[in-house]
Structure 1
Amino acid sequence: MERQEIDIFLALCEELHFGRTAERLFLSQARVSQTIKRLENRFGAALFERTSRQVRLAPLGRMLRDDLVPARGLLDRAVERAHAAARSVEGTLRVGYLGGLAAAILADTVVAFRSRHPECEIYAREVHLGDVFGPLRRDDLDMVIAHSPVAERDLVAGPVLVTEPSGLVVPRDHRLARSSSISVEAPPVEVITIGGPAMTYWHRYLDATWRITPANPIVAETFEEVLTAVSFGAGVHPAGAHAELSYPRHGAVYVPFDDGLGDRHVWRPVWTPGADNERLRTFVQTMCEVVTDRGEQHYYTASPAPPR
């Protein structure tokens, strides 16, 4: 029996009147009659005894009612528990972060979130350039804070948290290291290649964002590996302004783009549709409030703006 069939049958058991049952369930009387007739045809016997004056339960109907009432109670309680769990913040939220800026946003958010929702546990794990969204698809994480674009239909891009200026990290003895800024129209060609499962995706992002196609034989899967390769002169790589603050390297220098087109590091939370619940939504809301309170520049400048 379908849920609506159960509801119609049990309501008629209580009302013993087709008209009142229809009014109670906001259905037509014909719909009620058709449903009962369909059930009786399915069982092969009458559920109700009808006369021109009254409706009474038949023996089969009485037996079915006695079996369905407790079963529907269990079903109703199960549905209500599921709704309550979906609305609850209690449990564990698994959050990934890509690099230093995302780690700073996460740390500030966790402090604020725990003060409001101590019943929720936060598990944090770093993700890397070579496989930013793989942990989401493998259900290892519920959410990732990243600056990578989201082009796949199976991922949900949350609200923008920070949009930071962009530039390149270059070797300290590179010709561009002596520049105060770099034109995004003429990037160098020795861009370090990103490896791992996300290689093709990441390279499409570089090309679409800065018109850069990596061709360097050096392959890196994490930003730490990128910086290490840059520091020993293997090549250059795009980076957000926070790299100067979060990733100081003796052999690497951050140089910003100069033409206003560099503000393309957009940071946001990303998750799969199946991970969407009240716990995740509440955490994202807290994250937005924290970033707004501190100001975007807090996360990518050496002298952050004071909290508003």
Structure 2
Amino acid sequence: MRMLYGRLLHIMVCVVSTQSHIVHSLKFDQARFVYSASLQAPSCNFLLKFVNKLIGVSKQSYLRAKRELFVDDVNKRLDRKEIKLLIVLEQSELFKRCNNVHYNDDGSEVNFSDNDKVLLPVSFFECCKSGNYNVPFQLLIHKVHVPEPYYSSKPPELLLSSDLSKSSRNLVTNSSESLMETKRRGPPNIDSFPNTAQEFIPPSDVSNECVSCSAIEFRTDENYVYVPKWIMNNLKLKPFDVVLVELIKLDDCTNVELKCLEREFYETNDIKKVLEERLKYYSTLTLNSVIPITIGDVTFNFKVVRLDTTNQRNVPFASIQDIDLNVKLL
């Protein structure tokens, strides 16, 4: 009976479409209750666009689901709990509505993205508690270049060689394998996923494509991390890219040199005092990164030129949380 109702509904749609000049012809066999319809091309462009859009959205959702499974499988095999592979998204204004609004000493509202705070899943908080880490939890976010076969629905023979050769951090366990061997074997299974962080990020490349930050809350969906827009820009990330998030302890910074990329900032009164006040919303700094600082309605971008600690000069990352910091503006 349901099938009969379904066919009747389809026929009614076809009849209405015919009257609307969308369907060119409509034929059906009363005995077998079989019908067929042909669309009139000039009049059904909008319908084809709608169908193509629907297919595109469904495909994107499918690929995102495969990426989530890939990330989840890798996290189960990593040998260090303080390191996780996560899917990155940008913090939106929706998060601002759920948090208290902070104000500067001059009464102006603190810009939502003028900080280095990220949001992580609840499971990452368990990693923080199990280790010897203090609040605020300091992190390194590494950009990971994941080969497409790990979460792509395309068969290996359709993958271009550039899909793998462009990956500077290949997730294949044996990095000496040739491209042809990798393609002939096909996409790797769970047994070929890496077990150590070194297989994601080579030790000699720690400071490349990496930004330090701190955790503010643990309430996101599993396998997702939400970061400020400036981190997305510094690492050249797109939504749903894969990153490696690592818990770390950073040395306190004693000296920092910053350079504003906009000349108008140097016309501001008491620029050094204003800069020191705005920096208190950052817990860490990364060498060569560009951070935003908003004064009034104008956002200025500052490049971190130098970072010094008590034990070492010109370090790649440093903590500036609750310390007396010497700020030099170039």
TM-score of Structure 1 vs Structure 2, range by shorter chain: under 0.3
Q: Which has the larger radius of gyration?
A: 1
Q: Considering fraction of residues, name the structure with more helix.
A: 1
TM-score normalised to structure 1 length: 0.26
Q: Considering fraction of residues, name the structure with more strand.
A: 2
